Structure 1
Amino acid sequence: MKLSVAQGTALSVGAVLGTGVISMPALAAGVAGPSSLVAWLALIVLSAPLAWTFAALGARHPDAGGVSTYVRLAFGPRAAAAVGWCFYFAVPLGAPAAAAFAGGYVADVLGGGRATVLGTFLAIVGVVFGMNWFGLRVSGRVQLWLTAALAALLVVTVVTALPHARAANLTPFAPHGWTGIGAAAAVLVWGFAGWEAISSLSPDYRHPRRDVPRATAIAVAVVGVLYLAVALTSVLVLGPALGDSPAPLADLLAVGVGGPVRAVTAVVAVLLTIGAVNAYLAGASRLGAALARDGALPVRVFGTPRKSLTFVLFASLASVALPFALKTSMLLVTGCFTLVYVLGTAAALRLLPAGPSRAGAGVAFVAVIGLLVLTGPPALLSLVVAAGAIGYQGWRASRSAKIAIPSPISAGSTAPNPNTKPACEVA
């Protein structure tokens, strides 16, 4: 069944408006205070040219491979492998961080602190792993209902909490200095990852050249309004307490509605996270197998979806033990996603014809380069991952070349007698 503009808009909104919104306002306020609103506004403005760039690529080159396909067309298979590695190896780091958001809401209801957060992560990852191992799937319709439920929750939260806003909560506006805005922007990239999904969906539209730009424009507007409304309401209502809140939406809803709303938001947060983690693990399991098929990863370890899924599971469990704060883990992940955006927009500059679309791609390219720099030292991981992909491709190519060249002494044979003439010289 082909996608309509309405369906495509819903899927695009769901791809971007994910688990980040349930905790992003608190994390951004924690590093920038009320000035985090400037970072929110900047990311929303950046979304327009970035989303439009991927929409233009999808309209001209409709292919399910998305960014990887465009990078391959523009720069060749090694650069495409770098994109694949950046996405694939970011998933094991991102799954614990995503589950930690839901864990904060569960701990807010049940108590238990870090132990409850860890237990929530293990439960979510265990359920999703089992679903993917046995071929069960959260249907696209269920994913859309979860996204609709989140959007409705956000609207109710804003409408009921906003009457309790206090302008005094805007001061001091930049308690951590103006550099905090850049730090907040680097964190907020997590909440805006997903625009690349637009290009992957392009072949499923009824009329890609016409419908993809329309759906993209509507999705950018919806996401921007919801994100900015939640961020502004959070700052105005919760004030300095926002930065320390593990469950900001629950806090806002408690202020606006009252009653047992924390349990409701915890259930929504867990279901939403299961849907998001399922989408990423399902995609990663197939991506790993595809990269192995194309020679970008070892077949022995990643050659089937189940092998790839098992690697992601154990890598996710291992990443929990890393001595990183949640913010650092997020920056490591967003650094990888930002590099994917850098390569994708660079490909657009080669593939799109001269005109507004290419100009928009140029603006997006400069902006994502800036975001990569703002990520700071964690961005080095993305460069290491990309270099690893290119290095592995080069090593594999040189190894294949050596195997292809026949050895003068094949295995199991004896050395030729130097006194024996070649057959063509025997009298």
Structure 2
Amino acid sequence: MTNLQKSMGGAVGTFVALSTILGSGMMILPGTSYHELGKSAWMPWAVAALSVIPLLYCYAWLGRRHPSASGVAHYSEIALGPAVGRAAGLLATFALVTGIPATAITGGRYVAEFSGAGSLAWAFPAVVLGGATVVACLGANVSGKLQVTLILGLFALVMCTAVVALSAHGLTAPSTELPRFSRLGGVLTAVYVAFTGWETVAFTFEEHKRPDVIPRIFAASYLIVVALYALVLLGLFAAVNPGDKVLDSAPLLILAERSLGNLGRPATLLLVVAPITANVFASVLALSRLVFGMARSGYLPALLSRVRERDRNPVTSVITVGSTLTLIAILGSSGLVPFEALFILSGGIYFVLYGIGAASFAKLARGDMARVISVMCAVTVVSVTLLAGPPMWLCWALFAVVWLGTATLGRRPSTVGRRRVDS
């Protein structure tokens, strides 16, 4: 079996994780939640941040013990059988194929609006996806180092914007008034999108030099993500009225303008371009690894499992993924593919993958701590699924259909037993 080269260190791995998690949600969700709930908007963010911890624990545990380019497909195959593994892998592929172009298109719309050049709405997604493909062809370590630069720049800019806003307008205490349950539930479901991405990071774990540091990568990236969202939210509390309608479309723009004056618009452009570019670069890398892993396992054409001999980089998979995503982004930005549908499908499937990962952990892990974590994950998954309503139910139904379909088509010769021993 061909394995990928272990070239990624812990620091680069942490920034790859940050790039995967910080995407288009950062540009919209703090503003929409504040517009909906006022200064009680911190509540759904706190609930989401705390309740996602057990799910992250599961993925960190699985990644450390079973590092594989197939990520959740590999974990669920070991734990729950080949049919579940194949269904999880196919759904993960579908989620990324829809979610990555949607993220790139979001960046294109921002850039087009800021510059006044409408053609950038489709040109920016095409350029950033093309660049991500070229960088992924150079290897995971090159891609990771580039993402370090982008995320460091983003962190410095968010810190500067929020600190200036708090200095100029004063720290405003969050409200302790509990919103109506229906409103809180709706915002909570949306906010969870900001805490998806760690399941995608798992597709790069095979290339980590030291899988034992994966839990630390998860912990560090989690704390940084929470800090960034908290800074943005506190900055909005201080500088912006919750009734401002701009919060639903461009919260970072109004925050930057209130904080930095004339520098607000160019600063906002950087705040948009940095996370979008980093997210697309990280996600293209992750998807190419997933496609490679699925092909290596026999679930996709064997051609996609070829690697370049000198560095064991799956360039065939990278080029195929990059070309497909670029085409979808161009179609989506032109209106031929519904843009909103891309986000709805990908967001729901990401959460389904969290649930599958948690179920795999529950099957493989032993001990009292594992049982407590499994129960906490079950409560989170069921609660969010019920609160989210029909769109999330549709994603679980889609998983069930794919699972039953793969089981009906028959089982391939399984390597599950051997993988359990190897791991």
Shared fold per TM-score greater than 0.5:
yes
| Mapping for residues 22-37 of structure 1, pairs under 5 Å | 22-37=27-42
Q: Kindly state the Cα deviation for residue 335 of structure 1 after the two structures are TM-superposed.
A: 0.6
Separation in 2, partners of 1:5, 1:233:
31
Which residue of the partner structure matches residue 369 of structure 1? 382
Change over 3 Å in CA distance of 1:298–1:372 after alignment to 2: farther
Which residue of the partner structure matches residue 148 of structure 1? 152
Deviations 1:122-166 (A, max 9, x none): 422344146527946762111111011111111111101123258
Which residue of the partner structure matches residue 65 of structure 1? 70
Which residue of the partner structure matches residue 309 of structure 2? none
Separation in 2, partners of 1:208, 1:233:
37
| Mapping for residues 186-265 of structure 1, pairs under 5 Å | 186-197=189-200, 199-200=202-203, 202=205, 207-209=210-212, 211-239=213-241, 240-241=243-244, 244-265=247-268
Separation in 1, partners of 2:11, 2:231:
22
Change over 3 Å in CA distance of 1:301–1:307 after alignment to 2: same
Three-state SS of the structure 2 residue aligned to 1:339 is helix
| Mapping for residues 11-50 of structure 1, pairs under 5 Å | 11-50=16-55
**Which of 346, 352, 367 is matched with 1:333 structurally?**
346
- Which deviates more from structure 2 when the two are superposed, residues 384-393 or residues 359-368? 384-393
Query: Does the aligned pair in 2 maintain the 1:10–1:219 contact within 8 Å?
Result: yes
| 1:344 partner amino acid | G
Three-state SS of the structure 1 residue aligned to 2:362 is helix
Deviations 1:248-292 (A, max 9, x none): 223212212222331233144224323322332343345346545
Which residue of the partner structure matches residue 143 of structure 2? 139
| Mapping for residues 298-317 of structure 1, pairs under 5 Å | 305=317, 306-317=319-330
Change over 3 Å in CA distance of 1:313–1:216 after alignment to 2: closer
Three-state SS of the structure 2 residue aligned to 1:23 is helix
Q: Kindly state the Cα deviation for residue 380 of structure 1 after the two structures are TM-superposed.
A: 3.7
Which residue of the partner structure matches residue 382 of structure 1? 395
Which residue of the partner structure matches residue 100 of structure 2? 95
Query: Does the aligned pair in 2 maintain the 1:58–1:208 contact within 8 Å?
Result: yes
**Which of 266, 270, 276 is matched with 2:269 structurally?**
266
Q: Kindly state the Cα deviation for residue 357 of structure 1 after the two structures are TM-superposed.
A: 3.9
Separation in 2, partners of 1:231, 1:245:
14
Which residue of the partner structure matches residue 404 of structure 1? none
Q: Kindly state the Cα deviation for residue 68 of structure 1 after the two structures are TM-superposed.
A: 1.9
Q: Kindly state the Cα deviation for residue 87 of structure 1 after the two structures are TM-superposed.
A: 1.7
Change over 3 Å in CA distance of 1:27–1:87 after alignment to 2: farther
Change over 3 Å in CA distance of 1:18–1:217 after alignment to 2: same
Separation in 1, partners of 2:81, 2:87:
10
Query: Does the aligned pair in 1 maintain the 2:126–2:330 contact within 8 Å?
Result: no
Change over 3 Å in CA distance of 1:2–1:252 after alignment to 2: same
CA RMSD of aligned residues (A): 3.6
Q: Kindly state the Cα deviation for residue 236 of structure 1 after the two structures are TM-superposed.
A: 3.6
Change over 3 Å in CA distance of 1:52–1:130 after alignment to 2: closer
Separation in 2, partners of 1:380, 1:299:
33
Three-state SS of the structure 2 residue aligned to 1:378 is helix
Query: Does the aligned pair in 1 maintain the 2:154–2:274 contact within 8 Å?
Result: no
Three-state SS of the structure 1 residue aligned to 2:240 is helix
Please say if 1:109 is aligned against 2:114. yes
Please say if 1:123 is aligned against 2:128. no
Q: Kindly state the Cα deviation for residue 169 of structure 1 after the two structures are TM-superposed.
A: 9.3
Three-state SS of the structure 2 residue aligned to 1:62 is coil
Separation in 2, partners of 1:347, 1:14:
25
Aligned residues: 392
Separation in 1, partners of 2:175, 2:112:
29
Separation in 2, partners of 1:127, 1:197:
19
Change over 3 Å in CA distance of 1:365–1:145 after alignment to 2: farther
Q: Which runs of 5+ in 2 are unaligned?
A: 1-5, 307-315, 414-423
Separation in 2, partners of 1:329, 1:180:
24
TM-score with structure 2 length normalisation? 0.78
Which residue of the partner structure matches residue 359 of structure 2? 346
Separation in 2, partners of 1:398, 1:65:
18
Query: Does the aligned pair in 1 maintain the 2:83–2:411 contact within 8 Å?
Result: no
Please say if 1:279 is aligned against 2:292. no
**Which of 46, 50, 58 is matched with 1:53 structurally?**
58
Separation in 1, partners of 2:297, 2:188:
35
Separation in 2, partners of 1:290, 1:249:
38
Rg larger in 1 or in 2?
A: 1
Q: Kindly state the Cα deviation for residue 340 of structure 1 after the two structures are TM-superposed.
A: 0.3
Query: Does the aligned pair in 2 maintain the 1:160–1:257 contact within 8 Å?
Result: yes
Change over 3 Å in CA distance of 1:40–1:299 after alignment to 2: same
Query: Does the aligned pair in 2 maintain the 1:143–1:275 contact within 8 Å?
Result: yes
Separation in 2, partners of 1:162, 1:71:
46
Change over 3 Å in CA distance of 1:156–1:270 after alignment to 2: same
Separation in 1, partners of 2:22, 2:412:
44
Change over 3 Å in CA distance of 1:56–1:92 after alignment to 2: closer
- Which deviates more from structure 2 when the two are superposed, residues 66-75 or residues 336-345? 66-75
Q: Kindly state the Cα deviation for residue 351 of structure 1 after the two structures are TM-superposed.
A: 0.8
Q: Which runs of 5+ in 1 are unaligned?
A: 401-427
Which residue of the partner structure matches residue 421 of structure 2? none
| 2:282 partner amino acid | A
Separation in 1, partners of 2:51, 2:152:
24
Change over 3 Å in CA distance of 1:200–1:99 after alignment to 2: closer
Separation in 2, partners of 1:8, 1:35:
34
Change over 3 Å in CA distance of 1:336–1:243 after alignment to 2: farther
Deviations 1:79-121 (A, max 9, x none): 1122222221123432343234424542553347xx56xx334
Q: Kindly state the Cα deviation for residue 12 of structure 1 after the two structures are TM-superposed.
A: 3.0
